[in-house]
Structure 1
Amino acid sequence: MIPAPMKRTTLSAILLLAAAVPAYAHVGAGTTSSFTAGFMHPLFGLDHITVMIAVGLWAAMKGGKAVLAWPLSFVGVMMLGGALGMLHVPLPFVEPAILASVVALGLLVVLAVDLPVSAGVAIIGLFALFHGHAHGTEVPGNAGGLEYMAGFAVATALLHATGIAAGLGLGSKFRGGAAGAAGAAVGIGVAFGVL
């Protein structure tokens, strides 16, 4: 059994390391035509790391069906948004919505908001649409672009799993305070150009 202080310290270290990674945000951040490029891209975007881990933490806090439904809804709707971006279907307020997702999901975790699974799916899906669209506009509409989005989806799912594992590993003592506050702070910092 791992002592609770060690669990909290580990989670804090993970979040601090994630916050130390430069936020390359979107459009134009490296190659966008291979599975490897798609897999690596979310791991170097502060907004993406923060949101994906927050989805996993919030799902773990909710428990039950949310542990699968919320991450799966994010990945599925993100792929739909990616397809819309690849097809150049316009979507307004993409970057502001992405920033809002970082703050909102951080607050949902820090406040331990307990919503029905379906409401969580709707909230998470809405934010996922914007994340997917932003990245879909970056990729070419060919097989390389599809490989990129597949890599992106796998990395996203792994970040969700990281959040779930952290939330479940910390158990009932985890209420999302520090992790959620860090997520919300990252969103505010990115919005004001501090991060």
Structure 2
Amino acid sequence: MKLSLLACSPLQPYLSRLLDNCPNQVDVTYLPQEKLCAQEQLFTAIKEYIDGVRDSDGIILTTGVCGMETFALQAGEVPLIIPRVHNCISLILGNADHYRAMFEKYSGNLAWYLPSYPEILFCGAKEDCQCLAYLADTQLNIPDSSLSARVAAAAKQLDFIQVESDSSLLARLVYGKWCSDDILVTPPHGAVTASFDRRLITHFDL
């Protein structure tokens, strides 16, 4: 299959390794970090990307529900494939339930540090953050950045924890294994929006 994939830049080390042995032809576009900060900007960037894809068997949006809390996305001629996750962190944790459990445990006051990515990722207000979680890779041989994460946590006076990542959901997306409850496939000319329940996203016909 020929696939088009839109991803946030922290996923680059994961995708570069997964695509080495991928049977599909996957054209990857990375969103600039500044586009991830505002929901309206992110939605606009996703919509423009969808509108620009023509010759493809599917558009994979690794952003999950992020950017769709207020707006609905419409598929064009190409189906949309979207994981039922909150954001790229939820995707790298392997499922929405793991992310939800950690979010609730720390009351949302949690930041993230990914291997081979130099910036702390905040999913809430920076001033409320209490803990920095490092996502340790044990599957793809991504160079370890835990020491840098510990230094960053100490510099910002944050607690530090290490959590094992799970790239299996991301792998299923690029390998075309979409027949599961944690991946939503929206047919051409359908629409997808936030469901505001544990499914996170749902689609409907226009």
Q: TM-score range by the shorter chain?
A: under 0.3
RCO (CA 8 Å, sep 6+): is it higher in 1 or 2?
A: 1
Determine which structure has the larger strand proportion and give its number. Answer: 2
What's the TM-score, normalizing by structure 1? Answer: 0.26
What's the TM-score, normalizing by structure 2? Answer: 0.25
Bigger Rg, which one? 2
